[in-house]
Chain A
Amino acid sequence: KQEVTQIPAALSVPEGENLVLNCSFTDSAIYNLQWFRQDPGKGLTSLLLIQSSQREQTSGRLNASLDKSSGRSTLYIAASQPGDSATYLCAALFSGGYNKLIFGAGTRLAVHP
């Protein structure tokens, strides 16, 4: 069964810390992997999209990597700020089927001053 797992479920860090969020998936036959941010009571906002042929993508203080062989993706946030507090979800688009975009349950991040 194709699954996406995010650990930890929640994370609390002081402002300024560099941090890594983890996403693991059970099937290496993925088409792409996306990272999303969700603020309370809001929809999801796409942060980074990594195609299977890529190793990483960067946007500002965010860097996402993809290692298909180990079934892992990481989202690196540099110099965290209180405004980064949100839930971060990853979603893997698995090949071989219609729209098998599988979401992880998310990591709830709190950055305190």
Chain B
Amino acid sequence: NAGVTQTPKFQVLKTGQSMTLQCAQDMNHEYMSWYRQDPGMGLRLIHYSVGAGITDQGEVPNGYNVSRSTTEDFPLRLLSAAPSQTSVYFCASSSSLLWTGLATGELFFGEGSRLTVL
């Protein structure tokens, strides 16, 4: 049972570099999302997708790009890394959606990608 798989687990970048965090799920979930977790702030939604070809912004989208070409994959791109993007990033998926795109069911999380930007 792979569930939600994130790569890489750790990454160090220099300011201005770009990179892509990969997320794949094998549960045929329509809903996928990216969160960042910072100390004392809980998790905040960056971007989400309700199906292949459909993405939208969450609470903190600036500096990040996403695309959803397949049901399984939802990569997160950092366009020009900044120290403020140092964080732990989590990908999550869910099978349950309302027609509005509201993910109503249980969320399944990957193990996280720890990113440090120097």
Contacts and interface: CB of A to CB of B under 8 A. Distances in A.
Contacts of A46: 106-108
A44 B94 CA distance: 13
Nearest to B58: A99
A106 B38 CA distance: 12
B8 to A, nearest CB: 14
Interface of A: 4, 31-32, 34, 36, 41-46, 49, 89, 91, 93, 98-99, 101-106
A109 to B, nearest CB: 16
10 contacts: A34-B106, A41-B112, A43-B109, A45-B109, A46-B106, A99-B48, A99-B101, A101-B107, A103-B44, A106-B42
Interface string B18-34: 00000000000000010
B89 to A, nearest CB: 11
A102 B45 CA distance: 8
B11 interface: no
Contacts of B101: 98-99
Given A98-B102, A99-B56, A105-B40, 18 more contacts: A4-B42, A36-B109, A41-B111, A43-B4, A43-B112, A44-B90, A46-B107, A49-B105, A91-B107, A98-B48, A98-B56, A99-B33, A99-B102, A101-B45, A101-B103, A104-B42, A105-B42, A106-B42
Given A42-B112, A43-B110, A44-B109, A105 B102 contact: no
A41 to B, nearest CB: 8
Contact of A89 (B33, B43, B44, B103): B43
B43 A103 contact: yes
Interface in B83-118: 90, 92, 100-112
